[in-house]
Amino acid sequence: MNPDEQSSKAIGPIIGISFAILAFLFWLIYFKTPAYSDAGWVKTLPTILASLNAVSACCLAVGLVAIKRGIKRVHIASMISATVSSAVFLILYIIYHHYHGNTKFLGEGIIRPIYFFILISHILLSVVVVPLIFLTLWFAKTKRYDRHKRIAKWTFPIWMYVSVTGILVYLILNTFNAA
């Protein structure tokens, strides 16, 4: 099998795994009855989740600047750190939603359409970004840098958007639901 065929063979499993993760999250958030908990550590999870989004966004930015300057070692380390931070995010997100269902937004007025635009675009793009991250990493691992670069042109801005809007959703909820 030539490297191109070997590289392409992974696309099916990557899309399958991404779909399984997303289907599980959909069930967890919208269908599973939450195991409600008052524990302090559960209440701190949204702040930790928003911080992990911030870490991913910073690592992505450093990784892009590094590869633009030709510093491959920093690019690789930053992108792997962004992936680890997003993976830890996903694990804690699952734990949080095991205890806590969907959060109702209590804000009124102009902030409502703004919040829902950010939230809905965040959710839709987070669905798209999961297989894109896997594929970008896979093409880097298999040294198909032409494909890596082509797909990363989409992965990078979408991942950045999802990370930054994740922080915004947290900040808006904290401001308007606390009021």
Q: Are 56 and 160 in contact (CB under 8 A)?
A: no
Q: Which of residues 130 and 140 has its CB atom nearest to ligand HEM in the complex?
A: 140
Instruction: Extract the tokens encoding 165.
Output: 């809007």
Q: How far is CA 166 from CA 26, 51, 111, 171, in A?
A: 17, 10, 16, 9
Q: Looking at 7, 85, 126, 155, which residue binds ligand HEM (CB under 6 A)?
A: 155
Q: Of 96, 64, 74, 75, which Cα lies nearest the Cα of 166?
A: 96
Q: Looking at 69, 149, 171, 177, which residue binds ligand HEM (CB under 6 A)?
A: 149
Among positions 54-73, residues that touch ligand HEM (CB under 6 A) are 64, 67-68, 72
Is 156 near ligand HEM (CB under 6 A)? yes
Is 136 near ligand HEM (CB under 6 A)? yes
Q: Is 153 exposed, middle or buried (0-12, 13-18, 19+ CB in 10 A)?
A: exposed
Q: Which of residues 14 and 64 has its CB atom nearest to ligand HEM in the complex?
A: 64
Give min distance, CB of 60 to ligand HEM, in A: 7
Q: Looking at 50, 119, 130, 133, which residue binds ligand HEM (CB under 6 A)?
A: 133
What number of helices (H) and strands (E) belong to the chain?
6, 0
Q: Looking at 152, 162, 172, 173, which residue binds ligand HEM (CB under 6 A)?
A: 152
